[in-house]
A and B are shown apart, each in its own frame.
Chain A
């Protein structure tokens, strides 16, 4: 078992989800409640990472954020920061690739809150922030939790985009799934097996929680 890789994977998942959550909460709620020009295109764009091979997303991130790109050049010039082959690059890649996994359940959860409830709240004199805190977030919580669990476990198991963006630098970009690949390459089937089993168990637990949550949400909206 490669404990350093496990720790790196958990750290990557935690940091990515922590940044991803506020972004997708805002995005999911906006998509649920507002009609605007080009909404279908934005929804399609958000879904793109879901259908593209991770290597394609990785390729574009590599090209878009590398030292030759203008973003990469700016970051290096002003902050002396590099994204490619660094942990920070992996965080950005994980966020991009997980946006659809987080936005979808959050958007559905906000959509499932009946308009009447929000109307009644406004007529009760509750401010928009109060409606968000006291009604929308508690009612959308199962969807939000699903988003957290799904994207956390997805980051934990991501391979293609991590390899493209980060390579396999020990302690910096070598995550658990890369470690499994490396172990197999080195004929260390015991190590690969233990790590794989860990990921399988984790995936099962998270998926069980997620489906229980969606059932609860369905029951409540019924």
Chain B
């Protein structure tokens, strides 16, 4: 099979439908210049999905195409070599007996021998790894290994870049630096970049769009903050790391203001009416952390769109410059949790057992159907 010339700026389209073995169903598109994060718990099928895109394993049915070039469908399946992509495995997959430069050169077989070394050095420099070309992989730090793997993946001018948990094997400081580097690199590459991660914060930080996968099924896709604000169901909300998920009952509807009132324990809260609510309906609702406010009350300017709730601080956990606060609400079984800055917590004099008021932004309350 002859490879057509790699067309840049081609979008990657993936549709996978696998019932037997490891079940996996997903359908998404990743445009050139876009970073798509495939997020989900371990063992949920993320790496399998990435391997299928790379051509390292074959789905039972579906279609994978990059621009006009079909990588996989029921009739044909291109090998990884023919797909012309860059792949950085979770533990980098560096060739242990070859030095950093030779690792990158291994991806440059298509060039004349004389050009390979210069190209490899150039790529190492572009990923900010200057000065270690002679080192063997075991002589490099986690971050340096990652850069070599990235240089090797990019050296072929791939049509698509695939990253499997790219930051899981490096220390925190390096990770922060690599975040910035990846964000800068993405802007220059102008190819689809697909990153698999179990860390939702990483996805929110770096990705243009997220695809949420759990137990082989695609739960939701969209912009990270949109998915965070409007999860389709409770499972999505939990995977997005949202902890404030509660039961409620619709007790009043204001048709002109498009507001609904929910009974929440012994208190009532207002939220936007999505249109399908009926009196007496049992619902679940969720609010992201940024919808829970303490400071607006202290400053005495509580707008109409905030719900004022009486709560008791049950526990406070200091985590760096943040405090994770769990509060109890009268008549509600589960605690309402929030993260505030340590500075604010000290300013407001928070302590365990303290009664205070908290504001829930009504437009950030998102409703979904009661669990079956």
A61-90, CB under 8 A of B: which get 1 and which 0? 000000000000000000000000000000
In the bound complex, residues from chain A placing their C-beta under 8 Å from that of B88 are 120
Chain A nearest Cβ from B224, distance in angstroms = 27
In the bound complex, residues from chain A placing their C-beta under 8 Å from that of B138 are 220
Is B43 in the interface zone, CB < 8 Å from A? Answer: no
Q: Which of A121, A122, A139 contacts B96 (CB 8 A)?
A: A139
Is B79 in the interface zone, CB < 8 Å from A? Answer: yes
B152 and A122 within 8 A (CB): no
Q: Which of A114, A119, A124, A139 contacts B106 (CB 8 A)?
A: A124
A122 and B95 within 8 A (CB): no
Q: What is the bound-complex CA distance between A130 and B89, given in angstroms? A: 20
Which residues 13-44 of B have a CB within 8 angstroms of A?
none
B95 and A116 within 8 A (CB): no
**Known contacts being A125-B81, A130-B109, is A119 close to B97, with CB within 8 Å?**
no
A117 and B109 within 8 A (CB): no
In the bound complex, residues from chain B placing their C-beta under 8 Å from that of A114 are 91, 93
In the bound complex, residues from chain A placing their C-beta under 8 Å from that of B51 are 119
A123 and B85 within 8 A (CB): yes
In the bound complex, residues from chain A placing their C-beta under 8 Å from that of B83 are 123
Chain B nearest Cβ from A112, distance in angstroms = 11
Is B156 in the interface zone, CB < 8 Å from A? Answer: yes
**Known contacts being A124-B156, A138-B97, is A116 close to B91, with CB within 8 Å?**
yes
Is B110 in the interface zone, CB < 8 Å from A? Answer: yes
B81 and A126 within 8 A (CB): yes
B107 and A125 within 8 A (CB): yes
A122-154, CB under 8 A of B: which get 1 and which 0? 111111001000110011000000000000000
Chain A nearest Cβ from B216, distance in angstroms = 21
A122 and B56 within 8 A (CB): yes
Which residues 100-119 of A have a CB within 8 angstroms of B?
114, 116-117, 119
Q: What is the bound-complex CA distance between A120 and B163, given in angstroms? A: 11
A124 and B107 within 8 A (CB): yes
Q: What is the bound-complex CA distance between A121 and B95, given in angstroms? A: 8
Q: What is the bound-complex CA distance between A135 and B90, given in angstroms? A: 19
A135 and B95 within 8 A (CB): yes
Q: What is the bound-complex CA distance between A220 and B139, given in angstroms? A: 12
Is B153 in the interface zone, CB < 8 Å from A? Answer: yes
A123 and B96 within 8 A (CB): no
Is B87 in the interface zone, CB < 8 Å from A? Answer: yes
Q: What is the bound-complex CA distance between A50 and B80, given in angstroms? A: 40
Is B86 in the interface zone, CB < 8 Å from A? Answer: yes
Is B149 in the interface zone, CB < 8 Å from A? Answer: yes
Chain B nearest Cβ from A94, distance in angstroms = 32
**Known contacts being A120-B93, A120-B149, A121-B95, is A134 close to B106, with CB within 8 Å?**
yes
Is B262 in the interface zone, CB < 8 Å from A? Answer: no
A117 and B110 within 8 A (CB): no
**Known contacts being A119-B54, A120-B149, is A125 close to B91, with CB within 8 Å?**
no
Chain A nearest Cβ from B334, distance in angstroms = 41
Is B84 in the interface zone, CB < 8 Å from A? Answer: yes
Which residues 292-308 of B have a CB within 8 angstroms of A?
none
Q: What is the bound-complex CA distance between A119 and B55, given in angstroms? A: 9
A126 and B106 within 8 A (CB): yes
Q: What is the bound-complex CA distance between A10 and B9, given in angstroms? A: 63
Which residues 41-93 of B have a CB within 8 angstroms of A?
51, 54-56, 79-81, 83-93
Q: What is the bound-complex CA distance between A69 and B93, given in angstroms? A: 52
Chain B nearest Cβ from A91, distance in angstroms = 34
In the bound complex, residues from chain B placing their C-beta under 8 Å from that of A120 are 87-89, 92-95, 149, 152
Sort A-B residue pairs by CB-CB distance and give the 8 closest, nearest first: A120-B93, A116-B93, A123-B87, A124-B107, A116-B89, A122-B80, A123-B80, A117-B93
Sampled A-B contacts (17; CB under 8 Å): A116-B89, A117-B96, A119-B51, A119-B56, A119-B89, A119-B93, A120-B89, A120-B94, A120-B95, A120-B149, A120-B152, A123-B80, A123-B162, A125-B110, A126-B109, A138-B97, A139-B97
Supplied contacts A116-B91, A130-B109, 18 more A-B pairs, CB within 8 Å: A116-B90, A116-B92, A117-B95, A117-B96, A120-B88, A120-B94, A120-B149, A120-B152, A122-B56, A122-B80, A123-B83, A123-B85, A123-B86, A123-B153, A125-B107, A126-B81, A139-B97, A220-B138
